[in-house]
Amino acid sequence: MATVVKKALGIAPTKEKNGRGFIPSPLGILLGVDKKSGYTHNKRVAGKYKGNKKILVLCTEERYFKMENGSLFSTGNNVQETAVPLMHLTNAGFDFDVVTPTGSSAVLEQWSIPRKDHAVLAFMREKKSKFDQPLSLQDMVGRGDLNDDSPYVALFLPGGHGSMVGLPTNEHVGKLIRWIHQSDRYMVTVCHGPAALLAASVNTSDPHPYRGYKMAIFPDSVDRQSPSLGYLPGKLPWYQGEKLSEQGLSFINKKVEGAVHVDRKLYSGDSPRACDQLGKLVADTLLKELAQ
């Protein structure tokens, strides 16, 4: 009976057609997925960068996240959170490469597409092959590509609960994160993307490289409320804020408010609402640094 009532109220998670997992409820989609992203084209910086430095985008290759009750959440990387910062960077003249742990296709939350945002839709169509045929992080590490000659000036960790699956425990992700910090490159995260930072503590007793840093993040308190709205089909088995706090990071926001924060070379945003400002800020910063 409870399920019938939840369906009537629009708060029952929606079963996938394949019957395996769940996507958010109609109410969860209404409250959590924008029809338009809020992206605003920045003519001032369009095409300014002419160099060969790139952005590396670490995506998940995992579709399902098992909740505490055993239900599978059909997730991946959030489309809006992935696209909007990259749209600002490519507008400024930067190219990007997508990488996944083994080179399998990046998994994106198709239900998270802002379906009335023609700019985002066009961007994702144009860049589809980058996500379908990404680089392999395992191969990059094996070849020794993480070195001073690397073209990558920044690592971008897009959001989506899929960032909490596989990436936080992957030793190669840990090596990538430690290399970004040690080589004084930029780290850019949004929403649940910071979960991947946990990998920096895999197979090492050294302090977390971002220990003592502050950042904007999707708050655990909101994730705890999400099952009641049917956005998640159950409670999360763990929470990124709690785990990152244990590693010495702290957070500037307790609500989802479009917060953006800069701490040294760690640039972060709390949610889709932050992506337009975050993308512009990172693009401006990179243009200024690389012009010197």
Q: Annotated active-site positions, please?
A: 191
Q: Taking each helix axis from N to C terminus, what angle separates 79-91 and 118-126, rounded to the nearest 10 degrees?
A: 80
Burial class (CB in 10 A: 0-12, 13-18, 19+), 248: middle
Q: Mark residue 83 as left, alpha or beta (left: phi above 0; alpha: psi -120 to 50; beta: remaining).
A: alpha
